Structure 1
Amino acid sequence: MKYDSRYYMMIAEGARMDISQLHRIEYEASPDVVVNVPGVVRLLGEHTVDADGMYLGLPYDRSMSVAMSARRDSSLRFFASDLNERKRTNLGNLKYKREDRWANYVKGALAAYLEGRPGAKGLNVSISGDIPQGLGLGSANALLCASVKAAATLSGASLDPAALEQTAAEVMKHYFERPARSAEYSASLRAEASSLLIVDAYDGRCERLDASFSKAILLLSDSKVPRPPVDDELRSRVQNCAKALATLGGGARGLRGYTIEDLDEFMGRMPEYVRRHATFFIEELQRIKDARESILKKDLPSLSRILNKSQAGLRNHYELSCPEIDWLVKRAIEIDGVLTSRMVGKGFGGCTLTILYEEALPEYRKRLEEYERIFGFRPVVWEIKPWQGPNTNAD
């Protein structure tokens, strides 16, 4: 989902007004349901999900809200308050349209629950949110999950998280024609107050952990590096992991059933780049297990060291970083009081997540100014905190 530049200027203005108020002003009717879903930063495992891996997700305090109210006819009206854009269609025309951009996520959710349903009525829909777009920070997932949960609520369908996750994945596969797994949406739909979640794409398990960062500050820094299309690059790495698995002999548990020692035994039987990508996958799953222990012990320095190792793996083994991100990470972790800094999102640019103490902030700002002088990109920084989880309210 891509918004134009007005979106960034309108976030603050739109965020001051509750979505229920926006909906009433737009449609002169109160919403029947409001669903609010957080953005999610994946601290570990972002690139393992498509190969039956797992990830450690942090739902944070920026979100997407969807409000819906029933109409008397079959029309569908959509209003994106942050863009001040409006779309319209009807229940008989819910096909994907490229020009509908953000509205396609809502249309896909409505198609899953309402298309072809006898007696179904139209809806007024409002959307508002403050998750930064196009940076791998969970904006599209949050919009889809909020739309799915709102549509399920109005249609009387199951609100079980597993059912909602499956519907979201089916919308992506059948409506957008993009591969998706239900695990992609688990952290968005299962978030609770101040929680971290370990989501396993292999068996769908989800474990909540306490997100305790003590007095540390969490900063997202957008590098502003123009990012090329990365889908082909990511797909090739998943394919390379599959090649490594085939060389190792396969197995129902995939690469997670093997160790680095197993890879070493087969050195020379697989291309070096395949071995590097498989190495990252195996080590990343172990890092998630180690991170779980650190989180349970509330050992933030230990967790930070694990995140630093993951970033090194992304750079050296999975080869998804870029010079600008490498510079931001290296210069950040040189600062006293900075615990960790790593890339988040798909790769080749985007954001870094930096965890630091307040006394490190002045020096960190200086490094960002130096980054702008060297690379010519002015970074944008947001402070985030663990979020309280999704909720549904009917007026």
Structure 2
Amino acid sequence: MKKRLYMPAEISDYPSTIRSKFRELFNQEPVIIRSPGRINLIGEHTDYNMGFVLPAAIDKAIYIGIQIREDNEIHLHSLDYNDHHTTTTDQIVRSGKLWPDYILGVVEQVLRFAQDDSNSGITNATKQHVFASAAKQGFNIVFGGDIPPGAGLSSSAALECATAYALNELFGLGVSKMDLVKISQAAENEFVGMKCGIMDQFASMFGKQNHLIRLDCQSLEYTYIPFNLKAVKVLLFDTRVKHSLASSAYNERREQCEEGVRLVRERKSEGGSQKSEVRSLRDVTEEDLLSYVKPVNEVVYNRCTFIVAEIQRLLVGCKDLENNDIEAFGKKMFETHDGLSKLYEVSCKELDILVDMVKDDPNVLGARMMGGGFGGCTINLVKNEAVERLTKKVSEMYKKETGVEMLVYEVGVENGTQIIS
């Protein structure tokens, strides 16, 4: 089970608190970066299958204060843990306590990026000189955030993007936002050790107020889709559980999808088609799965069937949103949950209970589990006038069914990573 990045703290104004703590610890004025968490409306587990996702940056974020040092030391302070970590630019190793690793992993990737002349972020000798200087110079960071911990809103990606963006600004590196996203993802994949797709970091960096991002995880092309929230609220119902299956099951699902691709590729190759035509489930049809996968492995067939259907469901759902048909879009969210629960089998009793409680309520336009699965939140589109009544009803029913106090978060859709002062 993935450990929490930070613990909740009673801080109402993170930028002011960070600035005050920075002065206290370092006697410096920091540059402050805001990097948001994310929701994903539809398109779950499609990112590592080279499909489409539909995330948005939210109005809850990680805040970083940063400033250059005169030596090569790196000083990190977590407000929410009230903890400090110190190292140097030539000693970038895992900390043994997780939270510094999301920052240190980004530093490692930035230094690697600096040494690779082929990267689009290095276009001339001047930028190479800036990178060389940055590699020798340390910095101070104080950070904290109001992203609810353990809710599946990608606080880790927010911290990685905040760090990458901050270093880019602080040292004048001139790296593109797209490359900052790739650096952030690589930090989590290679340094932290979580083999996540690119969606979380992309949404945190490229978010746009009142818009979702239709991201093609194969080409990284993206389109902003209007998200009209005048009549509805986005509510997250937090189960407050995270079952230990999550990490191993995530890796297992990836392997099963890869097995489905392998079966289709080999069978098509036997029939004279080119192997290279099938690189991921993005290249597979439902007919392919019926012909080549179902006769061999029913479980793999179910997994792949969900992914192929989910990719198409997302594309049609985007057309619903472009036509301002939230109700049609919401129905697809219910369909997604059904597939995640029955075919992909990454839901759990608590998530299913929350979706079942609202699926027949006319004031709930759509609901589903959100994230990797086995706990975390459901995401719900609820009519404005029903928010208070529904929240009260579901909270009471959930407590009666499970004995657990459900948490509720209302989220808005905001801009991505940026300097705020």
Shared fold per TM-score greater than 0.5: yes
Instruction: Choose the corresponding residue for 1:109, options 106, 120, 142.
Output: 106
How far 1:238 moved relative to its partner? 1.9
How far 1:247 moved relative to its partner? 2.3
d(CA) in 1 for partners of 2:186, 2:294: 40
- Equivalent in the alignment of 2:213: 197
How far 1:377 moved relative to its partner? 1.0
Tell me the SS of whatever aligns to 1:137: coil
d(CA) in 2 for partners of 1:350, 1:168: 23
How far 1:227 moved relative to its partner? 1.8
1:133 aligns with 2:149: yes
How far 1:184 moved relative to its partner? 4.3
Tell me the SS of whatever aligns to 1:233: helix
Classify 1:393/1:271 alpha carbon distance in 2 versus 1 (closer, same or farther; 3 Å): same
d(CA) in 1 for partners of 2:211, 2:145: 21
d(CA) in 2 for partners of 1:277, 1:176: 27
- Equivalent in the alignment of 2:127: none
- Equivalent in the alignment of 2:385: 359
How far 1:114 moved relative to its partner? 5.0
Instruction: Choose the corresponding residue for 1:236, options 252, 268, 279.
Output: 252
d(CA) in 2 for partners of 1:324, 1:179: 25
d(CA) in 2 for partners of 1:280, 1:268: 13
d(CA) in 1 for partners of 2:196, 2:346: 21
The two structures have a TM-score, normalised by structure 2, of 0.86
Q: CA RMSD in A?
A: 2.3
Instruction: Choose the corresponding residue for 1:98, options 86, 90, 96.
Output: 96
Tell me, yes or no, if the aligned pair for 2:317 and 2:332 is still in contact at 8 Å.
Answer: yes
Instruction: Choose the corresponding residue for 1:170, options 186, 197, 201.
Output: 186
The two structures have a TM-score, normalised by structure 1, of 0.91
- Equivalent in the alignment of 1:26: 25
Classify 1:327/1:174 alpha carbon distance in 2 versus 1 (closer, same or farther; 3 Å): closer
How far 1:3 moved relative to its partner? 4.5
- Equivalent in the alignment of 1:378: 405
1:315 aligns with 2:314: no
Instruction: Choose the corresponding residue for 1:247, options 263, 268, 286.
Output: 263
Q: Deviations over 1:162-196 (max 9, x none)?
A: 21122113323332344354454211111122220
Q: Deviations over 1:238-291 (max 9, x none)?
A: 222222222223534522223223323346522111111011010000011011
Percent identity of paired positions between Structure 1 and Structure 2 = 25
- Equivalent in the alignment of 1:342: 368
Tell me, yes or no, if the aligned pair for 1:91 and 1:122 is still in contact at 8 Å.
Answer: yes
Classify 1:210/1:84 alpha carbon distance in 2 versus 1 (closer, same or farther; 3 Å): same
Tell me the SS of whatever aligns to 1:98: coil
Unaligned runs of 5+ in 1: none
d(CA) in 2 for partners of 1:270, 1:40: 38
- Equivalent in the alignment of 1:293: 319
1:223 aligns with 2:239: yes
Q: 2:343 is aligned with what amino acid? A: H
How far 1:325 moved relative to its partner? 1.0
Tell me, yes or no, if the aligned pair for 1:335 and 1:364 is still in contact at 8 Å.
Answer: no
How far 1:20 moved relative to its partner? 3.2
- Equivalent in the alignment of 2:70: 72
Tell me, yes or no, if the aligned pair for 2:36 and 2:416 is still in contact at 8 Å.
Answer: yes
Q: 1:112 is aligned with what amino acid? A: Q
Classify 1:359/1:393 alpha carbon distance in 2 versus 1 (closer, same or farther; 3 Å): closer
How far 1:144 moved relative to its partner? 0.6
Instruction: Choose the corresponding residue for 1:46, options 44, 47, 66.
Output: 44
Tell me, yes or no, if the aligned pair for 1:187 and 1:197 is still in contact at 8 Å.
Answer: yes
- Equivalent in the alignment of 1:271: 297
Q: 1:153 is aligned with what amino acid? A: E
Tell me the SS of whatever aligns to 1:224: strand
- Equivalent in the alignment of 2:283: 257
d(CA) in 2 for partners of 1:339, 1:77: 47
Unaligned runs of 5+ in 2: 116-131, 266-274
Q: 1:150 is aligned with what amino acid? A: A
Which piece of structure 1 moves more, 379-388 or 87-96? 87-96
The size of the alignment, in residue pairs, is 390
1:121 aligns with 2:137: yes
- Equivalent in the alignment of 1:303: 329
Classify 1:17/1:34 alpha carbon distance in 2 versus 1 (closer, same or farther; 3 Å): closer
Tell me, yes or no, if the aligned pair for 1:75 and 1:90 is still in contact at 8 Å.
Answer: yes
Classify 1:223/1:205 alpha carbon distance in 2 versus 1 (closer, same or farther; 3 Å): same
Tell me the SS of whatever aligns to 2:151: coil
- Equivalent in the alignment of 1:390: 417
How far 1:148 moved relative to its partner? 1.0
- Equivalent in the alignment of 1:369: 396
How far 1:332 moved relative to its partner? 1.4
Classify 1:268/1:138 alpha carbon distance in 2 versus 1 (closer, same or farther; 3 Å): closer
Q: 2:177 is aligned with what amino acid? A: P
How far 1:364 moved relative to its partner? 3.6
d(CA) in 1 for partners of 2:349, 2:169: 46
